[in-house]
Chain A
Amino acid sequence: MKLELRGITKRFGSLVANDHIDLTVEAGEIHCLLGENGAGKSTLMNVLYGLYQADEGEILLDDVVQHFSGPGDAMAAGIGMVHQHFMLIPVFTVAENVMLGNEATKGGIFLDLNAARAKVREISRRFGFDVDPDALVDELPVGVQQRVEIIKALSRDARVLVFDEPTAVLTPQETDELMQIMRQLRDAGTSIVFITHKLREVREVADRITVIRLGKVVGEASPTASNTELASLMVGRAVELTVHKNPPQLGDEALVVEGLTVVDHIGQLVVNDVSFEVRKGEILAIAGVQGNGQTELTEALVGLQPRVRGSIRLNGEELTTASVQRILDEGVGFVPEDRNEDGLVGAFTIAENLMLDRSAGAPFVKAGTIQRGTLAEFAREKVKEFDVRTQGIDEQVRQLSGGNAQKVVLARELSRELSLLVAAQPTRGVDVGSIEFIHKRIVETRDSGVPVVVVSTELDEVVALADRIMVMYRGRVVGIVPGTTPRDVLGLMMAGEQPEGAAA
Chain B
Amino acid sequence: MTTVTEHHQVSPQPDALATTVVTSWKAPIAFAVFTLAALALAVFAPREGDTTYRLNASDKDAIIIANISVPAMPALWVVVVLLLLATAFSVWLVTQKRRVPLWLIVVFAIVFLFGFLTWAGAGAMLPMINLLYGSLSLAVPLIFGALTGVIGERVGVINIGIEGQLLAGAFTSAVTASVVMSSTGSMGLALLAGVIGAMIAGALVGMVLAAFAIKYFVDQVIVGVVLNVLVTGLTSFFFSQVLAPNAAVLNSPPRFPRLPIPFLSEIPIIGPVLFRQTLIVYLMYLAVIVVFIGLFKTRWGLRLRAVGEHPQAADTVGINVNRTRFWNVALAGTIAGLGGTFFTIGSGIAFNKEMTAGAGFIALAAVIFGGWDPIRATLAALLFGFASNLQNTLSVIGSPVPSEFMLMLPYLVTIIAVAGLVGKVRGPAAAGKPYIKS
Residues on A close to B: CB < 8 A? 12, 49, 51-52, 70-73, 75-76, 81, 83, 86-92, 96, 99-103, 105, 108-111, 141, 144, 152, 172, 176, 263, 265-270, 272, 307, 473-476, 478, 486, 488-489, 491-492, 496-500
A243–B10 CA distance with the chains assembled, in angstroms: 32
Cβ B297 vs Cβ A90 within 8 A: no
Q: Which residues of chain A come closer than 8 Å to B17, judged between CB atoms?
A: 268-270, 272, 474-475
Nearest Cβ on chain A to B198's Cβ, whole angstroms: 26
Nearest Cβ on chain A to B389's Cβ, whole angstroms: 36
Check B236 for interface membership: any CB of A closer than 8 A: no
* With A100-B314, A269-B19: A476-B10 Cβ-Cβ less than 8 Å: yes
9 closest Cβ pairs, A-B complex? A72-B318, A101-B317, A87-B313, A497-B7, A268-B17, A87-B316, A269-B18, A103-B299, A267-B19
Identify which of A76, A105, A108, A488 contacts B1 (C-beta below 8 A).
A488
A396–B185 CA distance with the chains assembled, in angstroms: 67
Nearest Cβ on chain A to B219's Cβ, whole angstroms: 15
Nearest Cβ on chain A to B121's Cβ, whole angstroms: 44
Cβ B4 vs Cβ A499 within 8 A: yes
Q: Which residues of chain A come closer than 8 Å to B20, judged between CB atoms?
A: 263, 267-269
A99–B312 CA distance with the chains assembled, in angstroms: 16
> Which of chain B's residues has its CB closest to A473's CB?
B10
Check B303 for interface membership: any CB of A closer than 8 A: yes
Contact with A along B1-18 (1 / 0, CB 8 A): 101101111110011011
Q: Which residues of chain B come closer than 8 Å to A475, judged between CB atoms?
A: 17-18
Nearest Cβ on chain B to A400's Cβ, whole angstroms: 20
Cβ B11 vs Cβ A103 within 8 A: no
Interface size on B, residues (CB 8 A): 39
> Which of chain B's residues has its CB closest to A504's CB?
B10
> Which of chain B's residues has its CB closest to A83's CB?
B316
Nearest Cβ on chain B to A289's Cβ, whole angstroms: 12
Cβ B318 vs Cβ A101 within 8 A: yes
A73–B315 CA distance with the chains assembled, in angstroms: 12
* With A88-B313, A267-B22: A497-B8 Cβ-Cβ less than 8 Å: yes
Q: In chain B, residues 77-113, which have Cβ atoms closer than 8 Å to a Cβ of chain A?
A: none
Cβ B22 vs Cβ A307 within 8 A: yes
A473–B10 CA distance with the chains assembled, in angstroms: 9
Contact with A along B40-84 (1 / 0, CB 8 A): 000000000000000000000000000000000000000000000
Among B10, B21, B298, chain A packs the most CB atoms within 10 A around the CB of: B10
Identify which of B9, B297, B303 contacts A101 (C-beta below 8 A).
B303
Cβ A111 vs Cβ B298 within 8 A: yes
Q: Which residues of chain A come closer than 8 Å to B318, judged between CB atoms?
A: 70-73, 75-76, 101-102
* With A89-B306, A100-B302, A488-B4: A268-B317 Cβ-Cβ less than 8 Å: no
Q: Which residues of chain B come closer than 8 Å to A90, judged between CB atoms?
A: 309-310, 429
Cβ B4 vs Cβ A500 within 8 A: yes
Cβ A87 vs Cβ B22 within 8 A: no
Q: Which residues of chain A come closer than 8 Å to B4, judged between CB atoms?
A: 488-489, 492, 497, 499-500
* With A75-B318, A111-B297: A489-B3 Cβ-Cβ less than 8 Å: yes
